[in-house]
Structure 1
Amino acid sequence: MSLYDDAVLVLKQYEDQPELRDLYLEHLAAHPDGVYKPCRAGHVTGSALVVDPDRGRVLLTLHRKLGMWLQMGGHCEPGDATLADAALREAAEESGIAAGLSLVPGGPVRLDRHPIPEPCNWHLDVQYAVLAPAGAVAEISEESLDLRWYPYAQVPEVADASVVRLLEATLVRLGA
């Protein structure tokens, strides 16, 4: 199965946010290259909120280009077999946590569509939640200005509404 096929399957199985889900599926139907960055009409991205539920906190990155506190995430790459693989790879790369990250079961937690600067138009973000291993030590990557653990309650003070919605959906998924 290709990454494209996986994306279509994952989105068809995703039951929340039906209007946005259908928009993603329409995009992929019109753009067979819609999972990769060169697709100028927009492309699917994979992101992951790194969570430490035992300590009630999340790891956010201060994005180098955007200057905002965000979850880890980015573009799908040819070596990614699935959207979940892309999100997990991005989480490991951007968090510096080399081993022990694991996806929260149940597939994507949310979808988030946001405009990006030219030459492209949209990121069609498929958002997952990832559990950090006990004692995880994060290291800043070249894509970040900073990397910091935030208590759940502090996230609305530092991050935008999309990250807050992702955290809320993650906590529901975790039963917290």
Structure 2
Amino acid sequence: MSLYDDAVLVLKGYEDQEELRQAYLEHLERHPDGLWKACSAGHITASAMVVDPERGRVLLTLHRKIRMWLQMGGHCEPGDATLAAAALREATEESGITGLTLLPGGPVRLDRHHTPCAWHLDVQYAALAPGGAVEAISDESLDLRWYPYEEVAGVADESVVRLLAATRARL
């Protein structure tokens, strides 16, 4: 199965945010290259909110280009077999944490936002950090920091706050 086929199946199986979900599916129908950064009409991206539920905290990255505190995530790559694999790869690369696992049940949210390269149609997952996880800043980040759940709204925008709420509801 191709990444494109996986994306369509994941989105068809996602049971929330009906209008946005349908917009993602229509985007893929109109743009067979709609998973790739080269698609200037926008592209599907994959991200993951890295959480440590035992300590009630979330790991955010201060994105180098956007200069905002965000979850880990980014563009799909040809080696990604699934959207979930893309989200897990991005979370691992950007957090430096090995042994992350995605929460079961598929994506926790969808979020469409404009970035310097194009519209991102983000498929958002949640990743659990293993006990004793140690983060390491990647080239894509200015900083990485663990925030208690209750402090996220003070540093991040509403899309991150919504993703955290959806993640916590799934825990």
Output the TM-score relative to the length of structure 2. 0.99
Gap regions ≥5 residues in structure 1: none
Q: Which residue of 1 aligns with 2:146?
A: 149
**Following superposition of structure 1 onto structure 2, how do residues 156-175 of structure 1 map, counting pairs within 5 Å?**
156-174=153-171
Provide the identity percentage. 78
1:87 and 2:87 correspond:
yes
Give a deviation string over 1:61-115, Cα, whole Å, max 9, x none.
Answer: 0000011000000000000000000000000000011x21000000000000001
**Following superposition of structure 1 onto structure 2, how do residues 1-176 of structure 1 map, counting pairs within 5 Å?**
1-97=1-97, 99-117=98-116, 120-174=117-171
SS in 1 for 2:123: strand
Q: Which amino acid aligns with 1:74?
A: G
SS in 2 for 1:80: coil
Shift >6 Å, 4+ stretches: none
SS in 2 for 1:58: strand
Q: Displacement, 1:38?
A: 0.5
Gap regions ≥5 residues in structure 2: none
> RMSD between aligned alpha carbons?
0.6
Q: Displacement, 1:126?
A: 0.2
Q: Displacement, 1:121?
A: 3.1
Alpha-carbon separation, structure 2, partners of 1:163 and 1:92 = 18
Output the TM-score relative to the length of structure 1. 0.96
Q: Which amino acid aligns with 2:156?
A: A
How many residues matched? 171
Alpha-carbon separation, structure 2, partners of 1:121 and 1:81 = 23
Alpha-carbon separation, structure 1, partners of 2:69 and 2:112 = 17
Alpha-carbon separation, structure 1, partners of 2:41 and 2:13 = 24
Give a deviation string over 1:20-47, Cα, whole Å, max 9, x none.
Answer: 0000000000001101110110000000
SS in 1 for 2:130: coil
